[in-house]
Every structure is written in C-alpha cells, then in structure tokens.
C-alpha cells in the first residue's frame, strides 16, 4: 500500500515537473520522425499479466523490398540514439507507473518473461512460414504428373 502511494506521488510529480521536457521531446520526435510520437509495446507485468508499455519513438519505419522491417541499427535515428542514451525515451513510462502497470522501484521483467509473452506471436509466424515452405499433396501430384 505504501509502495503504491509512493508510485502515485512520484509518477505524478515526475510527469508534472518534466512536462516541459516531455512536450519538447514529443515536438522534436514529431518534427524529425513524424507521427506517431509514442511507441507502444506489450510487456509482462505483475504475475506475468501483459500491459501496454509506452515509450517515445526512436526509430523510423523502414522496410526492405520484401516488406520486412530493416534491422534496428538501420532504423534508429541520431536523435533516437540521444533519447536512448539519456533515457528520455522512457519518460512516458511514468504514465504506466501512474496507471499501476509498473512501479518506480522494483525489478524489470526478465527476458524469459518477455519471450513467454511474445511466444504465441512468434510461434504463429513460424508455423505459417513452415506451412508455406512445405510442399502439399497438390505439389507432389504435380511433380508426378510432370514426369
């Protein structure tokens, strides 16, 4: 109960005091990267319950000729590097603390918890990829009729 009270006071105060910096960073992101200004990502919360974590966007949307996103190293902007190195990209996370999704003090979710949360998405994608690459009955029949 005391920890939650501290989270509310700290996050509200942080949002209030840092609001000019948050506004300037948001304006700069809008100017340099366009919209959206915020990046939302599913993250495991208390007892593994997922929540939507909010951060400032640091990368541009860039895809290769096949429609796949380019590697992070090619998508991050110089301004995004500055935001990450100064942790300014994390400031919107104070909203998550205020909502009760995160805490100011406490452990971050482990990499295993993140993988577990994202596994259904990747498993579905992997299954689709395998199904596309496996020959079906029609391709076997087609190969036999071609002989």
Average pLDDT over residues 75-102: 91
Quick check: 85 and 15 in contact, CB under 8 A?
Answer: no
Find the helix packing angle between 78-85 and 2-33, rounded to 10°. 160
Candidates 86, 109, 103, 88; CA nearest to 37 is: 88
Average pLDDT over residues 46-63: 85
Task: Name the more confident of 146 and 81.
Answer: 81
Among 3-7, 94-98, 105-109, the range scoring the smallest mean pLDDT is 105-109
Mean pLDDT, the chain, whole residue set: 79
């Amino acid at each position: 109960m005391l920890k939650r009270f501290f989270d509310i006071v700290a996050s509200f105060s942080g949002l209030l005091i840092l609001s000019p910096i948050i506004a300037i960073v948001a304006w700069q992101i809008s100017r340099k990267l366009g919209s959206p200004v915020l990046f939302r990502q599913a993250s495991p919360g208390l007892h593994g319950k997922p929540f939507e974590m909010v951060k400032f966007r640091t990368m541009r949307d860039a895809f290769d000729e096949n429609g796949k996103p380019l590697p992070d190293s090619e998508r991050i902007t110089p301004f995004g590097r500055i935001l990450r190195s100064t942790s300014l990209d994390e400031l919107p996370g104070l909203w998550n603390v205020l909502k009760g999704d995160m805490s100011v003090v406490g452990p971050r979710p482990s990499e295993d918890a993140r993988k577990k949360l994202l596994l259904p998405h990747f498993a579905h994608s992997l299954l689709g990829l395998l199904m596309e690459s496996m020959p079906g009955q029609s391709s076997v029949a087609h190969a036999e009729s071609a002989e």
